[in-house]
Amino acid sequence: MNQSDKIIGIDLGTTNSVLAVIQDGLPVLLPVNGERLLPSVVGIAPSGEVVVGTPARNQWVVAPERTVRSIKRKMGKAETVGMAGQTYTPQEISAFILKDMREAAQAVLGGDVRRAVITVPAYFNETQRQATLEAGEIAGLMVERIINEPTASALAYGYGLAGDQHLKVLVYDLGGGTFDVSIIELHSGVVDVLATAGDNLLGGDDFDERLAAMLADEFAEEHDIDLRQHHQAWARLLRAAEEAKIELSSAPFAEIKLEYILTRDRKGYPLHIQREVERSEFEELIADLLGRTITLVRKALEDAKLRPNDIERVLLVGGSTRIPAVWELIVAQMGQEPHIEIDPDAAVALGAAVQAGIIAGEEIDAILVDVTPYSLGIETAQVGYGGRLYADLFTPLVRRNTTVPVQKSQMFTTIVPGQEQIRINVYQGENPTASQNVLLGDFMIEGLKPNRADGLSEVTVNFQLDVNGILDVTVVERQSGKRVSEQLKASRQRLSPDDIARSQAKLAAAYTEMEADETFDPGVAALLDRARKTLEQPDLSAGLADDIAGAVANIRHAVAEEDDAQVEAYCDELIDLLMEVEG
Ligand code: ADP
Ligand code: MG
């Protein structure tokens, strides 16, 4: 294909904008101004030059009057914004961002790039969509199509590419400044938005602010100075809070260190901040905000008149979904594991590129991701009520289907006061009982020097898993910094998100099989056998696999309940599904 016919995919985000394109049949990100995620910030430098991205974001701290952020919130409004003494429409500000994206694409692809697919939130109205189109035009781009962000995310996962698929998908998108939840339905190439809910003023920025506010309060307590009144100090504090927040998504604690946060206090002395924040502490600070997102998830389900188990896929997108507590809340609310295989801040742009490729008539392969097919973790014990010891527990650090490479760490405490050594058993598997999983290796840490008041010590266990399945385990004693490292071999797998969904359905069916020990009527048994063989077919669509696994589970349940009418009804359903596969 002639490069100038290429259509680029653009996620024009409130916080970050991302560019993607199809290359060799696969959607890939193209960096803009050297950045994978281009901060959606535009500024005029003192030299008069227009700056977009991180330089503009940095400038915002020192010269907010020459800088514009979060322009997406104003798209479609008649307001203008001031920047370095000039006024601009929201379309014009967005066009500065789009222009840099277009130039970045031209530099990589060569030749003139004129066509784009741009994403917008599902709730954007006609005026807002029109404004987005105009922004593209100002930047010299013909906008071939505006697509909804949740639709783009589903496309990135390959859903809806095979025209026959019928899927209900819930997309939970928690970005920097906004939260959106959308329920969409894909069928025969059409995407229906069944419901949307969200909060236009809830996102990662709020989490940064909560953390910064906690530090500012502590600072005020100690020095009687409110850092919020000092523009630059507050901006630095917000930046440090964001860095710590990101660190806490993979580590149990993070250190915030700001030297000379104020160069002089009332007596002329410089002041600093140094503080360790624990993950649990941070999670508590934002618990109500995350709770609100779950309330909105429920509202979207209600509006769509669906229950959580009517949803066939849950996708997490937006950078803030990397916070581990989000994953846990979603599992609790939806009763299923959400998909996180595709980089949450890239998914929307990758999907825009897929749509662009479809329009341009390109061949597109499903995105392949390297994932860990099993959970990886360590054996732990816990003291329960009444001092009873529960041993042989499996605590996963890296969950199955996590994209590799990945690094996760967690803090553990010794059990017995004065304990000087710990044996670390590393397991791979899904069983909550550690010894039921596969032991990858074990090693000792010795010479611990407990110095907590209760005589216990804290250690951080860090798992680093590379694309080849090499697991580096590092254990660091918190107080002494004593470190032990081991290298182990874990399994790895290369799967498309659809393969993963299919494997999950198969696993679910296997579980119901294990639990059941009823005897079946020969007809039913033969049918179940046929279903099992069908589920093993590699080219079975994930949607059908799910439906079949569901029907099997229903039949087993009805047999156990001895409800013959139900058994018959579900068998009929299963027969229909199998006929559909066998065509
Ligand atoms: P938007 O769609 O609003 O443009 P993004 O999806 O790019 O935004 O999300 C940006 C937000 O994600 C920021 O608040 C950023 O701090 C947050 N973020 C990025 N990575 C992480 C992480 N590892 N843990 C927690 N938050 C993160
Ligand atoms: Mg976004």
- Closest CA to ligand 1's atom 18: 319
What six digits make up the tokens of 26? Answer: 């696969």
pLDDT at residue number 150: 95
- CATH number, position 462: 2.60.34.10
pLDDT at residue number 512: 52
User: From the CA of 33, how far away is ligand 2's center (Å)?
Assistant: 19
Residue 182 within a domain:
no
pLDDT at residue number 514: 46
> Does 501 share its domain with 483?
no
pLDDT at residue number 379: 94
Category of 426 on φ-ψ map: left (φ > 0), alpha (ψ -120 to 50) or beta: beta
List residues, by chain if needed, whose CB lies under 5 Å from ion ligand 2. Answer: 13, 175
| Ligand 1 mutation target, pool 345, 403, 406, 408, most atoms within 8 A of CB | 345
163 in helix, strand or coil?
coil
pLDDT at residue number 519: 64
Strand 438-445 and strand 402-403: the pairing is unpaired
Q: List the alpha helices (DSSP H) in 458-563.
A: 497-515, 522-535, 542-560
- CATH number, position 140: 3.30.420.40
pTM: 0.80
- Catalytic positions are 11, 72, 149, 173
pLDDT at residue number 420: 86
- Count of structural domains within the chain: 4
Return the ligand number nearest the Cα of 16: 1
How far apart, in Å, are the Cα atoms of 333 and each of 282, 308, 394?
A: 21, 7, 23
> Does 20 share its domain with 98?
yes
Inter-residue contact 172 to 315 (CB < 8 Å)? yes
Residue 467 within a domain:
yes
DSSP 270: -
Helix or strand run (H / E) with residue 575: helix 564-582
> Does 138 share its domain with 16?
yes
Which residue among 270, 285, 300 closes a domain? Answer: 285
110 in helix, strand or coil?
coil
User: From the CA of 309, how far away is ligand 1's center (Å)?
Assistant: 28
Residue 475 within a domain:
yes
Domain of 83, in residue numbers: 3-157+344-360
> Does 127 share its domain with 247?
no
> Does 479 share its domain with 513?
no
- Closest CA to ligand 1's atom 24: 246
| Ligand 1 mutation target, pool 10, 14, 16, 41, most atoms within 8 A of CB | 16
Strand 115-120 and strand 142-148: the pairing is parallel
- Closest CA to ligand 1's atom 22: 246
> Does 133 share its domain with 279?
no
Cβ < 6 A, ligand 1 pocket: 13-16, 37, 175-178, 203-205, 242, 245-246, 249, 318-320, 322-323, 345
Residue 164 within a domain:
no
pLDDT at residue number 516: 45
- CATH number, position 251: 3.90.640.10
Residue 35 within a domain:
yes
Which residue among 285, 306, 331 closes a domain? Answer: 285
> Does 8 share its domain with 143?
yes
Which residue, chain included where needed, has tokens 């507590």? 325
Residue 302 within a domain:
no
> Does 545 share its domain with 484?
no
User: From the CA of 348, how far away is ligand 2's center (Å)?
Assistant: 7
Helix or strand run (H / E) with residue 131: helix 126-138
pLDDT in tens, the chain (583 residues): 555 589 999 999 999 999 999 999 999 999 999 999 999 999 999 999 999 999 999 999 889 999 999 999 999 999 999 999 999 999 999 999 999 999 999 999 998 999 999 999 998 999 999 999 999 999 999 999 999 999 999 999 988 777 667 899 999 999 999 999 999 999 877 888 999 999 999 999 999 999 999 999 999 999 999 999 998 899 999 999 999 999 999 999 999 999 999 888 888 889 999 999 999 999 999 999 999 999 999 999 999 999 999 999 999 999 999 999 999 999 999 999 999 999 999 999 999 999 999 999 998 887 777 888 789 999 998 876 777 778 889 999 998 888 888 999 999 988 888 888 889 999 988 888 898 888 888 888 888 888 788 888 899 999 999 887 889 999 998 877 788 888 887 766 677 777 777 766 666 665 555 444 456 777 888 888 888 778 777 777 777 887 887 888 788 878 877 888 888 899 999 999 888 887 6
User: From the CA of 365, how far away is ligand 2's center (Å)?
Assistant: 24
pLDDT at residue number 517: 43
User: From the CA of 317, how far away is ligand 2's center (Å)?
Assistant: 8
pLDDT at residue number 401: 81
Which residue among 336, 360, 384 closes a domain? Answer: 360
> Does 513 share its domain with 557?
yes
For 22-61, give the DSSP string. Answer: EETTEEEEE-BTTBSSEE-EEEE-TTS-EEESHHHHHHHH
- Closest CA to ligand 1's atom 6: 318
Inter-residue contact 417 to 456 (CB < 8 Å)? yes
> Does 7 share its domain with 24?
yes
By the 10 Å C-beta count (0-12 exposed, 13-18 middle, 19+ buried), 220 is classed as middle
By the 10 Å C-beta count (0-12 exposed, 13-18 middle, 19+ buried), 42 is classed as buried
The type of residue at 37 is L
